[in-house]
A and B are shown apart, each in its own frame.
Chain A
Amino acid sequence: MLIAISATDRGLGATVDPRFGRARMFALVDSDTPEEVRMLDNVGNSDQLSGAGISTAQAVVDAGAKVVISGRVGPKALDVLSAAGLEIYTGADGSVSDAISAWQAGRLTPVTEAMPGRGMGRGRGGGGGRGMGGGGRRG
């Protein structure tokens, strides 16, 4: 199972980037071989003026990740990731390998659809807000 961890630099020793959508890169680690890492460059998405979370989420989905680990994941990115069926864990810090260990030990917070701020349509104002009811189309 492929895990994507937001990172500020290359390698397992790099610091976890606390932001998902604006992370410069992702460490991609297979849970069967956690000592091997490959990097997914995300600068083309992280520097977008709008919708960085959406395009980053798209890239992570396209890379085949099934699990996302980050510090925090914004509401639109969360919509994309959960629509694509990925597991999302937030609250990670320290190095990428620390984050993987924390995830394996069950110490990271799984994000569910009920998370406050998962807002497309709710809170953001259906119709006039950031999204019309229910948060984008899916399915």
Chain B
Amino acid sequence: MARTIAVASGKGGTGKTTVVACLAAVSSEPLAVLDCDVEEPNLHLFLNADWQPGQPVTVPVPVVDETRCNYCGNCRLACRFNAIAVLPTGPMLFPGLCHGCGGCILACPYDALSEVPRPIGSMRTGRWREHVVLDGRLEIGEAKSPPLIEAVRQAAPDDRPVLIDAPPGTSCPLVSAVRGVDYVVLVTEPTPLGRHDLALAAAAARQLGLPTGVVINRAGSNDELITSFCAEQGLPVLARIPFDRRIAAAYAQGQLPVEAVPELRPLFAALAGRLLIPAAKPAGASREQA
């Protein structure tokens, strides 16, 4: 059906990582599994990979050559993010607000600005069973994760299906993790808040033009909260993971629920078969992004 699958949720704590780890565990073919929740990566707790050393990920930020600057302020006016002030005493740059767009450099008539790399986090690659695993880790205090998420996605091998553990929410990090994927799986739970945030995430996926399906986690009571929403929106319910104390106990030990609770295996095998069967299109065609 698809080559790049993102598992997202809107609400945090619904089971994105559980679903990703269980899909990887039952997949009959090698995958690239990406933890793009770079503010709180946790896939490594379940996929105990053989990791290579991490590499820094940087964004370009401007520096000023004050021998060339004449304080004209064009750079400040070009900056959409107010990362530059130009005072009578000289220019001040705020790299933490800079999005690395390079607009200030284009706007400077005196060639006074150039770019230097600023580290925002790190990413690493590992092997877990037959899969390649990648994750990103945003530096503490860093505000912007999208460049790191994009770096993790770009580093994924393109010879195999890609499975992305997306961050919660519906803002820039989520958009960076799901943009251009072939399919979005939204994991939710049958609670009012689960439904509320599912609606937000489904709206985001629709706005991005992404085919979407829903997995109900901790299913078993009040499922109609979710199924009624899915019926209204025309979203397929792909699977229901039962509410089962053994799953929580396994999770708390860092074990894969699909291995601790064997009767989950057919459920995830069916989901993996449905989502991860390679499409006929050329490898990498699904990874276009900004």
Contacts and interface: CB of A to CB of B under 8 A. Distances in A.
Interface of A: 48-52, 54-55, 57-58, 61, 76, 79-80, 83-85, 120, 124-125, 127-132, 136-139
Contacts of B222: none
A54 B97 contact: yes
A139 B141 contact: no
A128 B119 contact: yes
Interface stretch (B14-22, B81-89, B234-242, B275-283): B81-89
Given A51-B94, A80-B92, A132-B118, A138 B87 contact: yes
B136 interface: no
A84 B76 CA distance: 16
A50 B141 contact: no
Which among A57, A79, A80, A132 has the greatest number of chain B C-beta atoms within 10 A?
A132
A136 B87 contact: no
Contact of B96 (A48, A55, A58, A130): A130
Interface residues of B, number: 31
Contacts of A85: 89
Contacts of A139: 66, 89-90
Given A51-B81, A51-B97, A55-B82, A127 B119 contact: yes
12 contacts: A52-B82, A54-B82, A61-B88, A84-B87, A125-B139, A129-B141, A130-B143, A131-B96, A132-B118, A136-B85, A137-B90, A138-B89
B161 interface: no
B85 A80 contact: yes
